[in-house]
Amino acid sequence: MSRPLTIVWFLYDFRLADHPALHAAVARGDVLAVYVHDPVAESPWEPGGARRWWMHHALTSLQESLAAVGQRLIVRQGNSQECLLQLARESGADAIAWNERWTPSLRGRDTQAAKAFSDAGLKVKMSAGPLLHHPEKLTTGTGGSYTVFTPFWRKLRSTVTPDFPLPAPALDAAVERVSALTTMAIPDLGLLPKITWDSGFYEKWEPGESGARSRLQVFLEHRIGRYHGARDLPAVAGTSELSPYLVHGEITPRQIWHAVVELQESSADEHYREECEHLLRELAWRDFSYHVLHFRPDTPHLPLKPKYAGFPWLHDPAGLRKWQRGQTGYPIVDAGMRQLWHTGWMHNRVRMVVASFLTKDLLVPWQEGARWFWDTLVDADLANNSMGWQWAAGCGADAQPFFRIFNPVSQGEKFDPDGEYVRRWVQELEHWPVRLVHAPWTAQGAVMQHLQQQGRGNYPPPVVDHAAARDRALDALKRMGGEA
């Protein structure tokens, strides 16, 4: 008599370790690993171009990991509910297991699918999703949701111990009824860009579970001891760079959390322990973003503070395009936007600077920036992306007040004092003196004239005067009715 067969439905959990649904399936019998490409289910936030590139390679890596233990990854395309029901009929599977998903569209889809599977006589098992803690189980003293991070963090840190990560289960070779199933080739999903713009992605990233483990190891061995200070310097490799691996589920926050806690508890160095705590706080910020998104599923397109729905934004397609192309004339902004285009990633400090510039210097709606990031970031995450852009625009949870407007010149001088980051990504400025890389345009005039004479002065003038743009932004805030 054959053992029970469970379909394990993979989506943004492209790993074998710490995969609760996979563990549940192995515990009851044989496994049928399945990925269904169904971007329509995520509309209007289906994966952007950079994410699709990553998904292609993440799926390939998962397929190889399964093949190494004799398993297959069955790939289908279409309506996920219909495809999975068809696969259950083809294989004789009697159960479907997957890990919880926390974006609004996928959560709604999964609820409907669970009912359809159950109605069809299949056992349904949904396991813990990619968070430290269930969003509904961390509430305020009155039982409500949090909109300020610090009390959320205090509550989480004092009351929550994230589950310990599970090891990769021992998988048997695929049974005959799985081996007989048809599958699509991953390249046929069409995830890779048709226009080659991703060459820099290959230089920087190694998608897949092994790439995630390697990145974590480098961070723990070489970076975490100086994390708090170095993470603000874009020219320094000071951040973990684990965000795209978290987004695609090649590593879990539980794995990172416990690896850091182990280092923290084994060290007698108070400074080192504090550095570890800063990283744990950043993981909690990710949970906080999902907490807000869960209770306010409209935040990807509507401001959390209702007053900002009437903010007098400008329609400025030319300014938006210059910002997207890294042609604003402000070096730190342009460096960030060019790093994004070349690598699919941008340093977090610079993300704040470019977001402030778009929403406050140009008065372009934050939703435009969120959409551009969504399409160009390999770590585009709906909760974090929405939270970050509303934070920059002053209209979200625990947001920076709108009247606090980053000066792109002083931000560059403070966080890129040697001009190393700017001169790496804005090649027109690679020969400029350090003292002038971030200087106001008027101070750059003589240098620009000299460079133009040498045929190297093709850097654009500022798209706006920052001082005037700041006054315009504050006037717009006043017309809205002041700070919400």
Interval 224-262: pLDDT, tens: 999 999 999 999 999 999 999 999 999 999 999 999 999
Mean pLDDT of 49-68: 98
pLDDT of the residue at 197: 86
State the burial class of residue 406 (Cβ atoms within 10 Å of its Cβ: 0-12, 13-18, 19+): buried
Residue 479 predicted with pLDDT over 80: yes
CB of 218 closer than 8 Å to CB of 96:
no
> Tokens 């503070």 appear where?
305
pLDDT of the residue at 437: 84
pLDDT of the residue at 198: 87
Express as a percent the part of the chain with pLDDT over 90.
88
Cα 425–460–363 angle (5° rounding)?
90
pLDDT band at 432 (very low <50, low <70, confident <90, very high): confident
Q: Give the global pTM.
A: 0.95
State both tokens at 78. 């279409």
**Residues tagged active-site:** 282, 285, 313, 348, 366, 389
State both tokens at 279. 């990283």
Residue 456 predicted with pLDDT over 60: no
Domains (range + CATH), the chain: 1-129 (3.40.50.620), 131-164+208-295 (1.25.40.80), 306-480 (1.10.579.10)
Mean pLDDT of 374-381: 98
Mean pLDDT of 100-123: 96
Mean pLDDT of 156-178: 95
pLDDT of the residue at 1: 59
Measuring CA to CA, how many Å separate 273 from each of 215, 268, 269, 277, 304? Answer: 20, 8, 6, 6, 35
pLDDT of the residue at 440: 64
Mean pLDDT of 326-331: 95
Residue 34 predicted with pLDDT over 70: yes
